[in-house]
Amino acid sequence: MSIAATFEIQYLQYLDPEGKQVRDDLPAFAEDTEHMVELYKLMVSTRVFDAKSVALQRTGKLGTYASCLGHEAAHVGIGSAMAAEDVLAPSYREYGAQLYRGVQPREVYTYWGGDERGNDYQNEPARHDFPWSVPIATQCLHAAGSALAFKIREEKRVAVCTIGDGGSSKGDFYGAINIAGAQKLPLVAVIVNNQWAISVPRHIQTGAETLAQKGIAAGIPTIQVDGNDIIAVRKAMGDALERARNGEGPSVIEAVTYRLGDHTTADDARRYRGEDEVKDAWTKDPVVRLRAWLEAKGVWNEEKEEAWKAECDEWMDNEVNAYLENKAQPTSAIFDYTFAEMPEDLARQREQAIELDRQ
């Protein structure tokens, strides 16, 4: 028998779990230690933000919340590589990427606090990004559609979608990379493989050895990176974005990480995964790793760490206060965004609901 096709999946890592550099060919952005400190600071603030969110939920001030604990390198790596004019179509825990693009913590709190206004991002460039997509992987096609719009309008912009390991099982993900491959669309699809889709582990999600190789079926470049190594994530993102911007088409990136927290605050991961596994995952903590590397370079230390964490605490306290001070929307808001123009029947229902509210 002859061979019809062969493939291999490359794996990229710059920093090992101890923060030791395993390659000499650092990308240019990583040589800029000031920039790396900025990325580190956002990883820390993302973690502080996340802890605050969980605390808000535990004290009844937030509804169900999906934590991003452990994903900081992947998410900040994705967000920081993108250009302002690009578009992000995230799933529901990519706060690190979104904060970089101008989403405010108070907006995240507002959304998980049961208020649609949390999706109405006020700051550019997040203002043209998609809101969190709850139905799994559906956002991949929104990114592909955005990429198609950019191609038709001849804009040098890229659409980025993020999904989880579970999401890569859905047809929407394959449909997105498939049409993107067929039409050479400026799309980057990032699989943030955190090993768990609620209680379903990665190994029964698919028989494929890597999730990255799903890109092979779409005929597009694909790579697996250490998702806890922000340099690797950022480098792979940068390369993929550059190709897309130059009209060379889409890419898939699998960022291998670990969901250190529960799926959401409504979940208890102890029901389905062992403590040893989680303990082991903590030894690969993305934040600890980058900090060790920065400290070895002499650009970060305990004093700076404490100062920055204090600053983050203050920032989040402000954001929490802004969220808590914001009153619920009026009853009319249930109706006002259904159509651009209010149909007469709906206007009558709106009046009824307002009247009921008055009584």
Residue positions annotated with a catalytic role = 259, 263, 272
Q: Is 127 in the site for other proteins (CB under 8 A)?
A: yes
Between 89 and 108, how does the x/- string for binding to other proteins read (CB under 8 A)? x-------------------
The candidate with the shortest Cα–Cα distance to 130, out of 196, 176, 166, is 176
- Residue 156 CB, shortest distance to other proteins, in Å, is 14
Distance of alpha carbon 16 from the chain centroid: 22
Q: Figure out which of the listed residues 35, 142, 184, 202 binds other proteins, where binding follows CB under 8 A.
A: 142
Q: Is 351 in the site for other proteins (CB under 8 A)?
A: no
Q: Is 109 in the site for other proteins (CB under 8 A)?
A: no
Q: Is 298 in the site for other proteins (CB under 8 A)?
A: no
The candidate with the shortest Cα–Cα distance to 256, out of 8, 1, 9, 6, is 9
- Residue 258 CB, shortest distance to other proteins, in Å, is 29
Q: Is 158 in the site for other proteins (CB under 8 A)?
A: no
- Residue 278 CB, shortest distance to other proteins, in Å, is 32
- Residue 350 CB, shortest distance to other proteins, in Å, is 12
Q: Is 130 in the site for other proteins (CB under 8 A)?
A: yes
Residue number, 99 or 233, with CB nearest to other proteins: 99
Q: Is 230 in the site for other proteins (CB under 8 A)?
A: no
Q: Is 143 in the site for other proteins (CB under 8 A)?
A: yes
Instruction: Determine if the peptide bond prior to 186 is cis (ω within 30°).
Output: no
* 3-state secondary structure (DSSP) of residue 170: coil
Q: Figure out which of the listed residues 40, 49, 112, 150 binds other proteins, where binding follows CB under 8 A.
A: 150
Longest Cα–Cα distance of the chain, Å, equals 80
- The 8-class DSSP code of residue 300 comes to -
Question: Which string of DSSP letters, residue by residue, matches 255-299?
Answer: EE----S-SSTT--GGGTS-HHHHHHHHTT-HHHHHHHHHHHTTS
**CA-CA distance, 174 to 255, in Å (whole number)?**
17
Question: Which string of DSSP letters, residue by residue, matches 182-224?
Answer: HHT--EEEEEEE-SEETTEEGGGT-S-S-STTHHHHTTS-EEE
Between 179 and 198, how does the x/- string for binding to other proteins read (CB under 8 A)? x--xx---------------
Give 15's strand partners.
21
List interacting residues with other proteins (CB under 8 A).
87, 89, 116-117, 119-121, 127-128, 130-131, 133-135, 138, 140-153, 159, 171-172, 175-176, 178-179, 182-183, 333, 337-341, 343-346
